[in-house]
Amino acid sequence: MTKVLVTGSADGIGRETARQLVAGGHEVTLHARNDVRAEAALHAVPGAAGVVVGDLASIEETRKLAASGTRYDAVVHNAGVAVDGPRVETADGLELTFQVNVLAAYLISALLPRPGRFVFVTSGMADGGRIELDDLQRTRRRWNGTSAYCDSKLAGLALAYAFARRWPDVISTAVCPGWVRSRMGGPSAPTDIATGAATQAWLAVSDDAAALRSGGYWRHMRPLPALRGAGDPAVQDGLLAACAGLTGTDLT
């Protein structure tokens, strides 16, 4: 039995990932941003070991979420948001998409006792992203919510590569689930939600030799080539440094 935390598991791909892991006999902790969604998540995933609550749009709440000291065997960084409209800043004064999709994953990874595996759920839209280290929150560039989402997913992939390189004792991988029929993907998406969740569930717990290779990028159980914009160690280190500066938390 593997102990797994799945962030953003109150609905969508995260919830389906948790369901598949529970069905496989693993001890799964869910995550929701508030108590109402936490109760709904527990109802939707019978057999889950529990749920942690914390809004990833808050550095303080993200810290509290990670402060339990629980040692997981694997953490699936699934939580994410997309902004359709004007630029939104959180109470921390940070751009919402970047804070939830990138900064929260960094902070959880840095604060939790080091697990055996990280799985970062990214997106095919990362292909259209750019990591501008001097403008990660799009304060200088013209605001576009879709572009900000693409940037954040490329940055999430860079985090996966960075942890694989910095922490060789951790298997760190990333997944593109495809365009999935979910609340975010919409009903016309070509990929069913079970298929969209299967690869990250497999990477979190499998003893297959392929799943044990750190630094991989996957889609539907097949490896993808590294994206040039995320594979540069200098970009990875710059992103880690920026996240450390914004959170006041260095990697140990």
> Tens digit of pLDDT for each residue in 124-165?
999 999 999 999 999 999 999 999 999 999 999 999 999 999
pLDDT higher than 80, residue 76: yes
In a domain? residue 19? yes
In a domain? residue 86? yes
How many independent structural domains does the chain possess?
A: 1
Q: For position 165, which CATH number holds?
A: 3.40.50.720
Q: Known catalytic residues?
A: 149, 153
Range of the domain at 157: 3-247
Question: What is the value of pTM for the model shown?
Answer: 0.97
Give the model's confidence band at 57: pLDDT under 50 very low, under 70 low, under 90 confident, else very high. very high
pLDDT of res. 180: 77
Give the model's confidence band at 200: pLDDT under 50 very low, under 70 low, under 90 confident, else very high. very high
In a domain? residue 243? yes
Look up residue 247 and give its DSSP letter.
H
In a domain? residue 229? yes
Give the model's confidence band at 228: pLDDT under 50 very low, under 70 low, under 90 confident, else very high. confident
pLDDT of res. 22: 98
In a domain? residue 121? yes
In a domain? residue 135? yes
Q: Which two tokens stand for residue 223?
A: 């490896």
pLDDT of res. 195: 95
In a domain? residue 252? no
